[in-house]
Amino acid sequence: MLSNRLPERTHSGLLGKSLWTLALLSCISLAPVVRGARAADAGTVPSPDHVAAPPATRVEEVTDDYFGTKVIDPYRWLEDQTSAATRKWIDDENAYTNGQLDSLPGLDALKARLAKFLKVDAAELPSERGGRYFFEKRSADQDQFVLYMRRGLTGPDVALVDPNTQDPDHRSSVVLEDVSLDGKLIWYGMRKGGEDETTPHLLDVDSGQELSDRFPRALYLSVSITPDRAGIYYSKSLPEGSRVFYHKIGTDVARDQLIFGQGYDAGVLIGSDLAEDGRYLEIDVHYGAGGTKTEIWIKDVAHDGPIRPLVKGIDARFEAEFAGDHMFLYTNWNAPKGRVLLVDLNHPERENWKIVVPEGDGVIEMVAPANGMLVVHYSENASSRLSVFTTEGKMVRDIELPAIGSVREFSARWGSSEAFFSFATYTMPQAIYRFDFTKAATEVWWRPQIPFDGKDYVINQVWFASKDGTHVPMFVVYKKGLKLDGTHPALLMGYGGFDVPEQPMFTTTAAAWVEAGGVFADASLRGGSEFGEAWHKAGMLGNKQTVFDDFIAAAEYLEKTGYTSASRLAIYGASNGGLLVGAALTQRPELFRAVVCAYPLLDMLRYQKFLVARWWVPEYGSSDDPKQFAYLDAYSPYQNVKKGVQYPAVLFLTGDSDTRVAPLHARKMTALLQADAAPGRPILLHYDTHAGHSGGTPVSQQVTDIARVFAFLYWQLGAPIQ
């Protein structure tokens, strides 16, 4: 398993932001229409308040009884994704959406501009094994990333797997899962569309030939190739739950040995990791995706020892990293902001654990053994700091970062003298850096050539009071010289869940918005990890309403301070963030003019019944529990749409290949809002039959899709394209 890799908070995250937020940069003006401008310049903008009626959706009421409370679901039939009726409904909705968006002026100009900025060279973080560097890279004229290998830091790049040549539609992508210690064998997965599931392949790097071992398409949670390349430990999700297996290379996969997982239900996630020298296998059991409880098990592989518990029965988060014959445990056990413990695997009893990095002011987000030391990633006021410690806990140095921003990924090995990390902030595109421990020096390994000059913009971190008086931070980005007169189009985003921090990061969405004169705001809501586990717990289960309160307070702050006004404010959220904006639009519809709700959770009374949503019950709760039903019913967006209310204009985004958050949420909510909202403002659904949570949309298709999203926002905020 390629450990110490912080996942992008995009579709690759467990519940992360959608990829399209990382793929937009334009210089289209958001300035108001100039009086006397020729129609040929500005185009004829249709009224944002008078749109054609949507297609009618039939109502088939189903009544559920939750502990004496009867709840009517008028669109249960839309849950069946494969039925002929649902497929016709999707086609009708796409035709309606296309009719509304494709008629907007300036789309061709948007596409032409986007093509220049989306079609740029891009690269992902490298991983070094045996003096070879493995990474994914995409050239400006390619739709998908290609898997490369480089011998040495300055050697030529050799393409290993190019999905662009394998799929004429360019909707298949490659995912590197693990590389053997000597760099001679890799496990990579091929993903179709935006599915989470992959079809694995084993590739002999030197010969370029694939091994005969054939693994089925599945959701693989971890992969570790043994140092001698004789076998592989992997975990995957099965209907009965996730399980850990051992595969002997060259044998039938159907005979793989079940190592661990029997007795655990489908609500837990189980992964594994093999020590660099192959002696120990670590197995981690996560009770839900929010990280509130973890078990750690250890097996001495070299001596074929039994699997023994290292951490069990503690209601806290633990993450394990091998360091020779020791192990670092990052945990929030008795330390809400995190601490690091050192375990001697020859004497692993709890009484022998040592605190090497105590809890401090910053929140520990990640730890990585590197060069016989320990690198700790701190979050301080929602920004990153990297610090290097000895195994005794002595602070050695901070790794210098280019600005106030966020470390997105980190890659290192216990036995290597180098590390790689990616860094970005709102006005600085994500670059990859190499840190040399012997020289204590940082250099740029790769930097994108994106035509955006961050020196022209301001990043402010402001604090506002939420409904209960808690002060919550928010980053606000805008062009220098902005007048706070309430006239500016503003785009507000947030996430607020699963212990995921909202930190400064470059998205071309934000860059496009501020470059065109708009205000971009990103709120660090409760439910994330910005200020430790207490901040997370303040926004989960029965406290979830505080996340929505924080987001609503953020919108009110932007309006009260003159950054924008309700008629000029749009909100965007994806996945858990889709739930966020869904709750905001149903609770305070007058605060917002436009909403983009992507890959969302919206029916919180039934979410746990579909796909992998059982992993999220520890974060949200379940309507199967009477106490939890009460608070879920109180905020669930689908159950809280009121007939005749003037809701904001809404654009829902989802697709068939979302195998994480069931697309039925967006389908049902679209139908309900179209039927019950006061007429006039558009309620639209863009349903891509290939799109999903894990990306995979070709760059050429992104150009069209994103242009339509921005045209929708410009249209509804009264900011026509110049």
**Residue 482 and residue 493: Cα distance in Å, rounded?**
20
CA-wise closest residue to 369 among 441, 317, 308, 319: 319
623 is catalytic: no
CA-wise closest residue to 20 among 587, 612, 597: 597
Q: Which of 379, 383, 693, 694 is catalytic?
A: 693
Q: At what angle do helices 699-716 and 84-101 cross, to 10 degrees?
A: 60
- Who's near 342: CB < 8 A, 6+ residues apart? 323, 326, 327, 328, 329, 353, 354, 355, 356, 391
How many CB atoms neighbour CB 559 within 10 A? 18
**Residue 538 and residue 118: Cα distance in Å, rounded?**
38
What's the farthest any 2 CA atoms get from each other in the chain? 83
- The tokens for 54 are 């949507």
**Residue 437 and residue 647: Cα distance in Å, rounded?**
55
- Who's near 92: CB < 8 A, 6+ residues apart? 55
Dihedral class, residue 171 (left if φ above 0, else alpha if ψ from -120 to 50, else beta): alpha
- The tokens for 281 are 């296998």
Contact 349, 334 (CB under 8 A): no
Amino acid at site 95: A
What's the number of CA atoms in the CB half-sphere (13 Å) around residue 295?
Answer: 16
575 is catalytic: yes
Helix (H, G, I), strand (E, B) or coil at 373: strand
**Residue 204 and residue 258: Cα distance in Å, rounded?**
25
How many CB atoms neighbour CB 86 within 10 A? 17
Mode of pairing for the β-strands spanning 594-598 and 649-655: parallel
Contact 208, 161 (CB under 8 A): no
Neighbour order of strands in the sheet with 383-389:
363-370, 373-380, 383-389, 395-399
Q: Which of 575, 622, 636, 694 is catalytic?
A: 575
**Residue 711 and residue 67: Cα distance in Å, rounded?**
45
How many CB atoms neighbour CB 433 within 10 A? 21
Q: Is residue 665 within a helix (H) or strand (E), and if so which, with residue range? A: helix 664-676
- The tokens for 695 are 């990306």
Amino acid at site 188: Y
Dihedral class, residue 57 (left if φ above 0, else alpha if ψ from -120 to 50, else beta): beta
**Residue 234 and residue 261: Cα distance in Å, rounded?**
12
- The tokens for 360 are 């401090």
Rounded-to-10 torsion of CA 179, 181, 184, 185: -40
Give the residue numbers annotated as catalytic, written as ranges.
575, 693
